[in-house]
Amino acid sequence: MNYSPDLLRMLEEDEAVRDRARDVVGMTSQFAFLALADPRAETLKRSHYTEELHRWMVELADMVRERTDDEELRGAVDRLVRAFEQRVGEPIGALIERMHGGGSSATS
């Protein structure tokens, strides 16, 4: 997904996609840094991947799908959405641990 010419084009040319992607990267970076600095942080236990956050991520996925004809990119977006849909309600710390610890291959 990261090297898709269509996605790179969207990030360069489409302000809405770029802004949403920037928010995702910022949020993810904050949790990743916290997980590295203090993997047992209370924030990681208290923060959850909520239905609201998932809907917000699906909106980004829909934006990407609408702006591409690349079936490979669409498929990658669909797989990512399905993988995270199964994680709704999980603490962020558990999500990070699952991804880092070699949990489901869908999220690795």
Cβ contact 58:96 at 8 Å: no
Check residue 21 and give its pLDDT.
94
- Which of 1, 104, 95, 101 shows the shortest CA–CA distance to 48? 95
First CA to last CA distance, the chain: 14
SS3 labels along the chain: CCCCHHHHHHHHHCHHHHHHHHHHHHHHHHHHHHHHHCCCCHHHHHCECCHHHHHHHHHHHHHHHHCCCCHHHHHHHHHHHHHHHCCCCCEHHHHHHHHHCCCCCCCC
Check residue 6 and give its pLDDT.
95
What's this model's pTM, rounded to 2 decimal places?
A: 0.80
Check residue 108 and give its pLDDT.
35
Tens digit of each residue's pLDDT, the chain (108 residues): 878 999 999 999 999 999 999 999 999 999 989 988 998 899 888 999 999 999 999 999 999 999 999 999 999 999 999 999 999 999 998 888 887 774 444 433
